Amino acid sequence: MSRAEHSREPCPHRILDDIGGAYGMGAVGGGLVHLTKGVWSGPRGGKVSHGFQAARMNSLRLGGSFAVWGGLFSAIDCSLVGIRKKEDPLNAVMAGAATGGILQLRMGMKSAMRSAAFGGVLLAMIEGLGIVISRMASPPPQGGPPAMIQEQFQQQQQLAVEGPQEPQPEGVWSKVTGWLGGGEDDEKPAPPTAPKDLSNDKYAAPAMPDFTSGK
């Protein structure tokens, strides 16, 4: 899955976008953190004012630090996109490692290597989490479950190899029942018989008189 699906701005516009987003995140998040710390450590009766003072003094500084990190990260990311001619999570991982190492070079090579490793691992975790969330949020593929599709495909292959099945021959039991008068002959209705002439039969019942003639 490419990072183009993450609804980010194309290069080089994403550099300014990431600088602004990182600055806002650092200023707001850092302000809230220092506000909480100032209220907690402030003197009794002036905790709130001490917290707001700490937030005002540190929020803009943290916002600037985040903006530098975001701008350098996006610049390296866009450079990797231009060099590799494709956009994937590997660019973000390498950009995170390079950004962490460059910003920590003033503290020595060993500290820069540790910061680069931390930045690469952090960006790898973020990209992996984004891929998992995107797959969970995407709709399921059409056409039914894969197991059902595979079963239908196997049945079609079996029919293509074996060909159409011929009707099974009549069993021995059906032949025996046919010889004995059973089977399908019992189910056929008997043919209609002509009515008997009972005029010369002296034991026959008398005919029903006709009351409608008036005689």
On whether both 45 and 94 belong to a single domain, the answer is no
User: Which has the closest alpha carbon to 120: 103, 104, 101?
Assistant: 101
* Number of CB atoms found within 10 A of residue 97's CB: 22
Type and span of the H or E element at 187: none
CA dihedral (118, 122, 125, 131) positive or negative: negative
Q: In which region does residue 144 sit, left (phi positive, over 0), alpha (psi from -120 to 50) or beta (all else)?
A: left
Please give the pLDDT value at position 151. Answer: 72
Q: What is the pLDDT of residue 210?
A: 60
Looking at the structure, do residues 64 and 101 belong to the same domain, yes or no?
Answer: no
The pLDDT value given to residue 204? 56
Residue 96 lies in a domain: yes
Q: What does the DSSP 8-state code read for residue 4?
A: G
**Long-range contacts formed by 48-55: CB under 8 A, 24+ apart:** 55/30, 55/31
| Per-residue pLDDT, 136 | 86
Residue partners of 131: CB distance under 8 A and separation at least 6: 1, 89
Q: Alpha-carbon distance 3 to 5, whole Å? A: 5
My answer on whether 51 and 94 are in the same domain is no
The Cα-based distances of 141 to 132, 147, 149 in angstroms read 16, 13, 12
Out of 42, 71, 100, a domain closes at: 71
Structural domain that includes position 16: 10-71
Taking CB atoms within 8 Å and a gap of at least 24, the contacts of 141-145 are none
Dihedral sign for Cα 34, 35, 41, 42, please: positive
State the total domains in the chain. 2
In a domain, 213, yes or no: no
Q: Are 98 and 60 in contact (CB under 8 A)?
A: no
**58 and 93 belong to one structural domain:** no
Check whether residue 55 and residue 99 sit in a common domain: no
The pLDDT tens digits along the chain (215 residues) read 444 444 577 787 889 998 999 999 999 998 999 889 888 887 887 888 888 888 888 888 999 999 999 999 999 999 999 898 888 889 999 999 999 999 998 888 999 999 999 999 999 998 889 888 888 887 665 554 555 666 776 777 777 666 655 555 555 555 555 555 554 444 555 666 655 555 565 555 566 666 565 54
